[in-house]
Amino acid sequence: MHELGVVFHCIGEINEIAKEQRLEKINSVTVEIGEVSTVIPYYFEDCWKWAVKKEEGALKDAGIKLETIKAVTFCKDCKQEYETVKYGKTCPNCGSGHTYLVTGNEIMIKEVEASFPEDG
């Protein structure tokens, strides 16, 4: 049920953006999901579809596009980067465990596509 909570947060943020920018109709939202963000894209999409049906404002029935952010870890000992998903927390180059995640745990709203009534 974790994805549903994240979707609610996402919808809250976008409704705020819609208010700031006076958006009336949002066609779709693009969200970037890190490979190690603990969010499963398939479930996120499902929760999104369910949640936007219940929306009453600009977000009603808005589509969702998901993009992946690759996870990259940096090794403090040999100063090299490597793929997190493949090797985890142990550096494949020198075997050290002194590593930290550089990118890949993000959940970001990348962009919002809105339509405006043609005036004149």
Partner 1 sequence: MDKVKIIEVKRSIFENNDKDADRLREELKARGTFLLNLMSSPGSGKTTTLVQLINRLKDELAISVMEADIDSDVDAKKILEATGVNTIQLHTGGMCHLDADMTRQGVKNLGDAKADLVILENVGNLVCPAEFDTGSAVNVMILSVPEGHDKPLKYPLMFSVCDLVIVNKIDVMPYFDFDLEKCKEYVHMRNPKAEIIPICAKTGEGIENVADWISRQIKEWRNS
Task: Write out the residues near partner 1 by the rule CB under 8 A.
Answer: 1-2, 4-6, 9-10, 12-14, 16-17, 21, 23, 25, 27, 31, 38, 89, 97, 105-118
Q: Is 93 left (phi over 0), alpha (psi -120 to 50) or beta?
A: alpha
Shortest distance, position 93 Cβ to partner 1, whole Å? 19
Secondary structure class of 98 (helix, strand, coil): coil
Shortest distance, position 79 Cβ to partner 1, whole Å? 19
Cβ distance to partner 1 smaller for residue 53 or 117: 117
Q: What amino acid occupies position 17?
A: I
Cβ distance to partner 1 smaller for residue 72 or 109: 109
**Tokens encoding 98:** 């002194």
Other CB atoms closer than 10 Å to residue 116's CB: what's the count?
9
Q: What amino acid occupies position 29?
A: V
Crossing angle between the packed helical segments 2-20 and 41-53, to the nearest 10 degrees: 60
Cβ distance to partner 1 smaller for residue 60 or 110: 110
Cβ distance to partner 1 smaller for residue 5 or 80: 5
Shortest distance, position 54 Cβ to partner 1, whole Å? 14
Residue 49: phi and psi, rounded to 5, are -60, -40
Shortest distance, position 108 Cβ to partner 1, whole Å? 5
